[in-house]
């Protein structure tokens, strides 16, 4: 049997990703042929509004799709229309894919982790997942906003740039907390007081965001006071954006590692795979590694090419489903935000 090829279209958030991937059933080898991404970067202090993001995706997709998209459509719908157009244009099968399953399968192929506990962390999702009986089962998840959303929104509070993405800039600021403003003299970062919200294997981030925003407001008051020649109260700690970013990362990542460890203990696994945009964060990877080492295991993570939303991950998950005979009829090729990870029958795994 000849190698199979799939074209994946991704556009659920501010990344428009299109990629081509192939899989050879005879050798079970996966080959990435292209992985193109164009990111919509919104101005500092703002998030990516669906309207602007959709406009971006439309502008950068094929001209055939652009005609069909003159009217408003949210990002995911825009890309779905474009994918349908390509399918008709080139006479290709359509295969609907669950976004999270795309992340998981891509992470497994790239890292070689065969049956890991998966932490899926992005701007829209926070889930701890383990495979059992042909399902990716959700062991724990956020009870409110996603961890990436919490970090992105805090970046907006501090009005730091969204280029290349807010979480990256929060990470860089957190690294600066280890140095004095001169950038050379080392210092001990200050861990400010933030709530810690873990409940069993679930966690919550909205209260933490609220508390971090309050600390940022207090910092701005200090700025104003010092600018007008005043001085801080005795014993009052000077709050800096660097310490704030450091504290936010240390707190939310500790929560993520804790719930992941609990899931690993529960299913008796020693592998952990981190996927999703927040999975690029080196501090999160480091903390996860320390936890895994203590359990005699290891952490598997990918870099920004694969852990941030991309087209090939959709292509890969689509390809695996296609090989088991799965097709999405044209009239059923809709998309939904309410498509849970554990709804997908993982027919291509039999372990």
- Residue numbering of the annotated binding site for substrate: 120-124, 152, 167, 171, 281
- Among 294, 331, 332, 351, which residue sits at the site for another protein (rule: CB under 8 A)? 294
The answer to the question of residue 348 lying near another protein (CB under 8 A) is no
Position among 14, 42, 85, 111 found at the interface with another protein (CB under 8 A): 111
Which residue's CB is nearer to another protein, number 80 or number 264? 264
Binding-residue pattern over the window 51 to 90 for another protein, x denoting contact by CB under 8 A: ----------------------------------------
Summarize the annotated binding site for a divalent metal cation as residue ranges: 99, 103, 120, 309
H or E element: which one contains 51?
A: helix 50-60
- Name which position in 250, 269, 313, 321 contacts another protein (CB under 8 A): 250
Q: Are 315 and 21 in contact (CB under 8 A)?
A: yes
Q: Which range touches another protein (CB under 8 A), out of 42-50, 107-115, 172-180, 320-328?
A: 107-115
Select from 288, 310, 278, 56 the least CA-distant residue to 149.
Answer: 278
Choice between 48 and 131, CB closer to another protein: 131
> What backbone torsions phi and psi does residue 35 show, to the nearest 5 degrees?
-150, 85
What is residue 11's three-state secondary structure? coil
Torsion of the alpha carbons at 54, 209, 46 and 250, rounded to the nearest 10: -90
Q: Kindly give the residue spans of alpha helices, DSSP state H, lying in 158-240.
A: 166-176, 206-227
CB of 232 to another protein, least distance (A): 21
Q: Which is nearer to another protein, 69 or 280 (CB)?
A: 280
Going by their DSSP bridges, the two strands 198-199 and 135-141 should be labelled as unpaired
Q: How far is the CB of 254 from another protein (least distance, A)?
A: 5
- Where b means 16+ CB within 10 Å and e means fewer, 109-132 reads bbbebebbbbbbbbbbbbbbbbbe
Q: What's the CA dihedral at 169, 124, 276, 57 to 10 degrees?
A: -80
Q: 337 exposed, middle or buried (CB, 10 Å; 0-12, 13-18, 19+)? A: exposed
Q: How far is the CB of 113 from another protein (least distance, A)?
A: 7
Tell me which stretch binds another protein (CB under 8 A): 47-55, 214-222, 294-302, 328-336.
294-302
Size of the site for another protein (CB under 8 A): 46
CA dihedral of residues 90, 92, 98, 102 (deg, nearest 10): -80
The residues in 15-44 that bind another protein, with binding defined as CB under 8 A, are: 31-35
Q: Which residues bind another protein (CB under 8 A)?
A: 31-35, 109-113, 133-135, 191, 196, 199-200, 250-251, 254, 257-258, 261-262, 264-266, 270, 286-288, 290-291, 293-300, 302-303, 305-306, 345
């Amino acid at each position: 049997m000849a190698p199979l090829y799939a074209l994946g279209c991704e556009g659920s958030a501010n990344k428009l990703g299109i990629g081509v991937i192939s899989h050879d059933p005879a050798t079970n080898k996966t080959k990435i042929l292209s992985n193109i991404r164009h990111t919509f970067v919104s101005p500092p202090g703002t998030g990516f509004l669906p309207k602007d993001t959709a406009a971006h995706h439309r502008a950068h997709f094929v001209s055939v799709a652009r005609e069909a998209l003159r009217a408003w459509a949210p990002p995911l719908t825009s890309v779905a229309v474009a994918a349908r157009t390509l399918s008709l244009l080139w006479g290709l099968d359509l295969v609907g894919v669950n976004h999270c399953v795309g992340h998981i399968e891509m992470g497994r192929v790239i890292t070689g982790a065969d049956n890991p506990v998966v932490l899926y962390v992005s701007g829209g999702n926070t889930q701890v997942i383990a495979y059992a009986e042909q399902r990716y089962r959700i062991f724990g998840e956020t009870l409110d906003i996603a961890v990436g959303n919490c970090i992105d929104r805090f970046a907006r509070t501090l009005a730091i740039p969204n280029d290349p993405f807010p979480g990256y800039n929060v990470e860089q600021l957190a690294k600066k907390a280890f140095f004095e403003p001169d950038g050379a003299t080392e210092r001990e970062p200050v861990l400010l007081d933030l709530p810690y919200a873990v409940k069993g294997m679930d966690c919550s981030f909205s209260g933490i965001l609220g508390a971090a925003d309050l600390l940022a407001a207090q910092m701005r008051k200090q700025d104003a006071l010092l600018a007008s020649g005043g001085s801080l109260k005795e014993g009052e700690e000077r709050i800096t954006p660097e310490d704030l970013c450091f504290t936010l990362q240390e707190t939310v990542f500790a929560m993520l590692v804790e719930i992941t460890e609990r899931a690993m203990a529960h299913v008796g696994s020693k592998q952990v795979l981190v996927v999703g945009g927040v999975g690029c964060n080196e501090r999160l990877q480091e903390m996860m590694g320390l936890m895994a080492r203590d359990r005699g295991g290891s952490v598997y993570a990918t870099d920004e090419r694969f852990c941030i939303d991309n087209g090939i991950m959709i292509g890969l998950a689509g390809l695996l489903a296609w090989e088991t005979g799965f097709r999405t009829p044209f009239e059923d090729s809709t998309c939904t935000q309410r498509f849970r990870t554990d709804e997908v029958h993982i027919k291509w795994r039999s372990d």
